[in-house]
Amino acid sequence: MRGVLGLFSLPELLQLLAAGSPPGVLIVQHPGLGEARIYLSSGRIVRALFAAQEDLEALVALMSDPRGSFEFQPGKAPTRPTMADSLDYTLLQVIRRLPSDRLPTHSGFSAEDRPRRRAGGEPGPGAAGSEDALFARIDGSLSVAELEQLFPGLSVGAALSRWLASDLIELQPASQLLLATLERGAAVPAAALAIDLRRLASWEAHLGRPVERLLLRRGGLELEFSALAKPDLGPRVQLATETLLFHQLRIGDQVEVRPKPRAKEG
């Protein structure tokens, strides 16, 4: 597994790897500070090294400036594991140490989606010059992945997340397919599938009609659910506990989700 930070937040990526991957090391090539190594085993971080720092301090340094390409290499183990807390507890400790303007965000978009500026939108006087240049290129012609390649020194995903939240831009989904990680959701009805609010809105805008039903597929199993929009889910979807048990699905499963739009009237 490889990619660019910004399409996922680092906590999302670590949760995805911890839930569905064998032991190994996540290697991040940071454009300014060099290589980071985060070792995972049994669903937790057991060692972290970055910018001459170790463990929690290394994770704080990387999450304070989450840029660069990443690659997960299974089967690699640290010489000396030094961390034993659960992944959730480790991430909580890291996030508590981050300044408020560095807290991670959930993307809610994929690498192939094409963002487009809304009419009259401006990033505001606080935006850096490089972000102004990025905003100027958001015209619907370039995918998120292509923007990442054009601006390698900028956290494109974080900027897009802020502008989406401020309604300065909108997404044009490249496909009606979401590859998602399955979670247990609080207050999710048994017949519903919770999905990121902005993902659902982008599908509806692309299709030109409401999406009230979703199709979930894993292997040979295909299920249909009512759509439940939730904020900040990013590349994750949620089912009720009883639904997971009934269909023998597990937290951390990778699933395909597609919209089943309402038929056009007339």
Residue 191 backbone phi and psi in degrees, to 5:
-100, 10
Tokens at 262, concatenated: 């309402």
Residue 119 lies in a domain: yes
Residue 108: closest CA among 174, 173, 198, 201: 198
Q: Are residues 162 and 185 in the same domain?
A: no
Q: DSSP string covering 87-127, please?
A: HHHHHHHHHHHS-GGG--------TT-EEEEPTT----TTS
Among 172, 193, 216, which residue terminates a domain?
A: 172
Residue 202 lies in a domain: yes
Residue 57 lies in a domain: yes
Domain count, the chain: 3
Q: Are residues 94 and 6 in the same domain?
A: yes
d(CA 264, CA 266): 7
**Does residue 167 sit in helix, strand or coil?**
coil
Stronger pLDDT, 233 or 194, i.e. the higher one: 194
Mean of the per-residue pLDDT values for the chain? 82
Q: Are residues 50 and 89 in the same domain?
A: yes
The parent domain of residue 67 ranges over 2-102
The reported pLDDT for the residue numbered 108 is: 55
CATH number of the domain within which 221 lies: 2.40.40.20
Q: Are residues 160 and 85 in the same domain?
A: no
Q: Rounded to a whole number, what is the distance in angstroms from the first to the last CA of the chain? A: 46
Residue 108 lies in a domain: no
Q: Are residues 163 and 232 in the same domain?
A: no
Q: Are residues 98 and 118 in the same domain?
A: no
Tens digit of each residue's pLDDT (9 = 90 or more) over 12-31: 788 778 877 789 999 999 98
Residue 109 lies in a domain: no
Residue 167 backbone phi and psi in degrees, to 5:
60, 30
Answer whether residue 179 shows pLDDT above 50. yes
Q: Are residues 194 and 237 in the same domain?
A: yes
Among 46, 72, 102, which residue terminates a domain?
A: 102
pTM > 0.85: no
